[in-house]
């Protein structure tokens, strides 16, 4: 198992942009002090087995607890390197009676409705506004308005569990929060003085130097869970702050799984099962299982099919809960990260305001689709704007901030997944994934191996309701055989129309002067037919024509050079449509 800490490296960067190195500094990515053991006799009492297992690996194992799947968690005397702990697990796997053993790795934060909502108006206190949330609308956005147009305020709200650092009491969010749980069992990282309970509030995940391990740097609190939850469910149309994708129709159930130094994968796995409605010892069963789980977190290593993590995800999906996860922020193949590479999840990459893959985002065959996550490499306002807290250690005043990361892309997709349950309450997780992928639109920039395209909320809800999505417009094909014929002061230009989706043709002209030099091209007309007549001419000319529509324009088709006299007919009618003759301008 892996310890999870929201993908916060290059992902969760507040308004003051941090470097990737600074954001990553001090994160104990390769250390853990816990091992998970699953015995052949499931639900066997693991406490009396600790001394025997300790002798096998030469380390004193301390019994911690049983997981909700019947595995046993043991603690080592101190945190050790991941390869070392995996070595202990391998030795235990060779022991009679042990079915499975693995390092309990640490995970990390990855980091009719009114349209636009009233957040689109500036308010007196200068709070951020919906217009700054580029990630919802525009060419690089995920089309939140397209979804809102298909919803009604009378629709029954749905639920999304956010497994993260917990929540802070932000007035632009708290109305859309419902009771959650704190799954962090270890008081050393919980920072709230106790273990598991029903208080999912975020006390802060700040750390002093050397707290996580010898040499770890100090860090301020990230309030990662509050930011993620705001994207999903910030109170919308309240003339304040930011809007949430859910437009008040999504309730967030906070599940605190990350604390100081990150969080254990075994805690996360129990959080997954709790949110999906399974009984977890020592905690009350959730009153209403969630439709979607958002996990903006991850760690290194491929997701093993028999891991505690994967088994918990399988149980959630079996309970009809969709699991949406971050692809990761390492600019690497997501197949080497968890939960990004787990089966039965929707793995989300991140794009920036240009529509290109964000520089930090993971990619690969494990990725299902992309969503806006921000790219603040050159602009501090090019991240995802959401709710936050102003405290550097403990909670203080509420605030808003731009963060970037696949942590920020994931809640966009999780929110849309939840809205699909409004349009079709009987939809299954497999159908949710199929709809999100089938409705994704072409990524406007460059994002290789980013799944099936860019998240499109409007398209997704249309498909879930049984509608059809019109194909995205594509630029038309270029004309061919452009030919210019001269008469007295007149040129008639004709061409073959090779496309059936253009809305018009643009014609440009270049002229040769007495020194046999050509002028630049200038537009002389736009027509809807495949011919054009140019008048009042005297000299040597060349023409070019292109098709265009709302999606863009085609390449140019070039005519022959043509000589025109304003007193007599005739001219150079030779030359092909793609050849520039004599001293004509270079074809482009």
The catalytic residues are 164, 224, 407
Q: For residue 573, which of 546, 548, 540 has the smallest C-alpha distance? A: 540
| Residue 477 neighbours by CB distance under 10 Å | 15
Using CA atoms of 63, 336, 334, 164 in order, give the dihedral in degrees to the nearest 10: 10
Instruction: Report the chain's C-alpha Rg in angstroms.
Output: 30
**Phi, psi for 559 (deg, rounded to 5):** -90, 175
Q: Which residue has the tokens 């001419």?
A: 537
* Nearest to 410, CA basis, from 461, 360, 353, 340: 340
Question: Which pair of tokens denotes residue 137?
Answer: 């609308």
Helix (H, G, I), strand (E, B) or coil at 113: coil
Pairing of strands 504-512, 522-527: antiparallel
> How far apart are the C-alpha atoms of 232 and 249, rounded to whole Å?
10
**CB atoms < 10 A from the CB of 551, how many?**
13
Kindly report the number of other CB atoms within 10 A of residue 440's CB atom: 23
At which residue do the structure tokens 């650092």 appear?
165
Long-range CB contact pairs, 188-197, < 8 A, 24+: 188/260, 189/259, 189/260, 189/261, 189/262, 189/263, 190/259, 190/260, 191/259, 191/260, 196/282, 196/283, 197/283
Question: How many CB atoms are located within 10 Å of the residue 494 CB?
Answer: 18
Distance CA 584, CA 81 (A): 69
The Cα 535–Cα 547 span in angstroms is 22
Q: How far apart are the first and last CA of the chain?
A: 57
Q: How far apart are CA 354 and CA 258, in angstroms?
A: 32
Residues 6+ apart with CB under 8 A from 275: 161, 163, 253, 255, 286, 289, 290, 293, 316, 321
Encoded tokens for 473: 């417009």
Rounded CA-CA distance 459/444 in Å is: 16
């Amino acid at each position: 198992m892996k310890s999870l800490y929201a993908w916060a490296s290059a992902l969760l960067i507040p308004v003051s942009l941090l470097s990737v190195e600074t954001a990553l500094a001090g994160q104990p990515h390769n250390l853990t002090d816990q091992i998970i053991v699953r015995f052949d006799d499931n639900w066997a009492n693991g406490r009396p087995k600790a001394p025997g297992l300790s002798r096998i690996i030469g380390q004193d194992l301390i019994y911690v607890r049983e997981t909700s799947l019947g595995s046993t968690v043991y603690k080592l005397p101190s945190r050790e390197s991941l390869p070392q702990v995996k070595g202990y697990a391998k030795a235990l796997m060779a022991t009679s009676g042990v079915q499975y053993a693995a390092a309990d790795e640490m995970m990390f934060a990855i980091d009719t409705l009114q349209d636009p909502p009233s957040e689109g108006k500036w308010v007196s206190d200068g709070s951020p506004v919906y217009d700054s949330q580029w990630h919802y609308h525009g060419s690089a956005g995920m089309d939140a308005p397209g979804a809102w147009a298909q919803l009604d305020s009378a629709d029954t709200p749905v639920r999304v569990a956010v497994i993260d650092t917990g929540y802070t009491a932000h007035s632009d969010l708290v109305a859309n929060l419902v009771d959650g749980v704190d799954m962090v069992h270890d008081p050393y990282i919980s920072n709230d003085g106790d273990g598991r309970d029903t208080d999912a509030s975020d006390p802060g995940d700040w750390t002093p130097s050397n707290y996580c391990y010898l040499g770890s740097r100090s860090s301020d609190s990230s309030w990662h869970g509050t930011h993620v939850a705001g994207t999903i469910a910030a109170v919308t149309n309240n003339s304040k702050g930011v809007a949430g994708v859910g437009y008040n129709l999504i309730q967030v159930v906070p599940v605190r799984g990350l604390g100081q130094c990150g969080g254990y994968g075994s805690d996360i796995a129990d959080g997954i099962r709790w949110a999906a409605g399974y009984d977890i010892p020592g905690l009350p069963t959730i009153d209403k299982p969630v439709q979607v789980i958002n996990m903006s977190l991850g760690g290194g290593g491929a997701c093993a099919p028999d891991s505690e993590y994967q088994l918990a995800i399988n149980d959630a999906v079996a309970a009809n809960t969709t699991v949406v996860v971050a692809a990761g922020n390492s600019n690497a193949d997501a197949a080497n990260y968890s939960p990004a590479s787990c089966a039965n999840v929707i793995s989300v990459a991140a794009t920036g305001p240009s529509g290109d893959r964000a520089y930090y985002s993971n990619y690969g065959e494990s990725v299902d689709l992309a969503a806006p996550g921000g790219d603040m490499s050159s602009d501090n306002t090019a991240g995802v704007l959401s709710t936050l807290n102003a405290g550097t250690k403990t909670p203080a005043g509420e605030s808003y901030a731009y963060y970037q990361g696949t942590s920020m892309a994931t809640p966009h997709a999780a929110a849309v997944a939840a809205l699909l349950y409004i349009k079709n309450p009987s939809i299954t997780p497999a159908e949710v994934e199929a709809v999100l992928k089938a409705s994704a639109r072409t990524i406007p920039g460059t994002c290789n191996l980013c799944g099936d395209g860019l998240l499109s909320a409007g398209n997704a809800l249309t498909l879930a309701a049984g509608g059809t999505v019109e194909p995205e417009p594509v630029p038309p094909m270029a004309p061919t055989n452009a030919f210019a014929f001269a008469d007295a002061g007149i040129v008639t230009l004709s061409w073959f129309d090779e496309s059936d989706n253009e809305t018009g043709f643009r014609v440009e002209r270049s002229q040769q002067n007495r020194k046999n030099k050509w002028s630049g091209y200038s537009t002389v007309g736009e027509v809807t037919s495949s011919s054009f007549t140019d008048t009042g001419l005297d000299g040597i000319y060349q023409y070019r024509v292109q098709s265009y529509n709302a999606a863009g324009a085609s390449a140019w088709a070039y005519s022959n050079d043509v000589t025109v006299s304003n007193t007599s007919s005739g001219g150079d009618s030779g030359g092909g449509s793609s050849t520039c003759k004599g001293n004509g301008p270079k074809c482009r």
